[in-house]
């Protein structure tokens, strides 16, 4: 049943819907009712999908959506279908109560926190989306099935929320490319808006996984940001493949475990070798202890 943090949201009686407080919805039937009412009023809906453990990077997406839409919906759902490592799924931070308080402060109107059975009912039809090479490069190569899970959950959420605009952070650079491909392939009427990476003052990219890091590990993780800055500087005089080799050696000499460091075309995400393309992006994944961190930076 839908509930509010402060007061009930009665859409049919509220013309200025943003005057009402955050509505917390836990099931599909209540969400469907609210979205139907909003659409009948001609409201423009913004959507920010999350897996919880919210931080200031999420807040930047939410606040942008609030500015650009009549209504903003945030989902909190740890999607099991995009984890290929059961241990990683089990350790993913879950902080629902603090997340609700966090969302309330951003001006968001609705937070949707469903159970897995509601997201994936028995009759749920898995969409077939041809992602081409996107599903075998970088994250697709290292996490088989990951993007299938992303496609499944976002297809379902787009169906339920019916957003005009959906907001994603560019920290997950490849995921943004996959979502855009999915929307194009399925001809979905939603505008995908990619937002810049939000970083701590030190340069460390905000991530839900940062909650699993000790302060000492956060200092260690800064090596990722520093490596990207070094790659950006080297891009003035070296080829992509030369820089990638230097980065691999740097990580080998560090305390971090490198999964991959690739410099890619920003559209195709194919690795660059001897020639540069405009807006080439360095993508890196490395481990601090057992925590897998991802980051990227445009180089030229």
Among residues 55, 58, 146, 187, the one annotated as catalytic is 58
Q: Report which of 3, 279, 296, 34 is spatially closest to residue 170, judged by C-alpha positions.
A: 296
Residues 86 and 218 in one domain: no
Q: What is the pTM of this model?
A: 0.88
Share of the chain above pLDDT 90, in %: 83
pLDDT score for 20: 54
pLDDT digits (tens, 9 = 90+) for 5-53: 333 343 332 333 444 589 999 999 999 999 999 999 999 999 999 999 9
Residues 186 and 285 in one domain: no
| Active-site residue, 55 included | no
Residues 182 and 88 in one domain: yes
**Which domain CATH number covers 289?**
3.30.1300.10
CB neighbour list of residue 92: distance below 8 Å, 6 or more residues apart: 51, 53, 78, 83, 208
Residues 257 and 188 in one domain: no
In Å, what is the CA distance from 209 to each residue of 202, 206, 231?
17, 9, 24
Task: Decide if 182 is inside a domain.
Answer: yes
Domain tally for the chain? 2
Q: Does 200 score more than 60 pLDDT? A: yes
Domain that holds residue 242: 208-298
pLDDT digits (tens, 9 = 90+) for 90-132: 988 899 999 999 999 999 999 999 999 999 998 888 788 999 9
**Which domain CATH number covers 152?**
3.40.50.620
Task: Decide if 202 is inside a domain.
Answer: no
């Amino acid at each position: 049943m839908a509930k509010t943090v402060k007061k009930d949201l009665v859409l049919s009686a509220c013309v200025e819907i943003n005057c009402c407080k955050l509505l917390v919805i836990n099931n599909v039937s209540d969400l469907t009712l609210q979205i139907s009412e909003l659409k009948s009023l001609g409201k423009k809906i913004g959507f920010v999908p999350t897996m919880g453990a919210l931080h200031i990077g999420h807040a930047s997406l939410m606040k942008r959506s609030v500015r650009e839409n009549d209504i903003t919906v945030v989902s909190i759902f740890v999607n099991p279908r995009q984890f290929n490592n059961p241990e990683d799924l089990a350790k993913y931070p879950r902080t629902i109560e603090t997340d609700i308080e966090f969302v309330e402060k951003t001006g968001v109107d609705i937070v949707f926190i469903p159970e897995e059975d509601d997201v994936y009912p028995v009759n749920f039809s898995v969409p077939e989306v041809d992602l081409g090479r996107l599903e075998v490069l970088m994250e697709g190569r290292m996490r088989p099935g990951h993007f299938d899970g992303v496609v499944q959950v976002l297809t379902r959420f787009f169906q339920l929320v019916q957003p005009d605009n959906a907001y994603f952070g560019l920290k997950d650079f490849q995921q943004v490319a996959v979502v855009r491909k999915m929307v194009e392939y399925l001809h979905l009427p939603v505008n995908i808006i990619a937002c810049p990476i939000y970083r701590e003052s030190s340069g460390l990219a905000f991530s839900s996984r940062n909650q699993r890091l000790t302060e000492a590990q956060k200092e260690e993780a800064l090596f990722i940001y520093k490596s990207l800055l070094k790659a950006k500087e080297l891009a003035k005089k070296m080829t992509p493949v030369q820089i990638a080799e230097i980065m691999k050696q740097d990580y080998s000499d560090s305390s971090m475990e490198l999964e991959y460091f690739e410099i890619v075309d920003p559209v195709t995400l194919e690795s660059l070798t001897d020639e540069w393309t405009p807006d080439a992006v360095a993508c890196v994944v490395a481990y601090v202890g057992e925590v897998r961190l991802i980051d990227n930076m445009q180089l030229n």
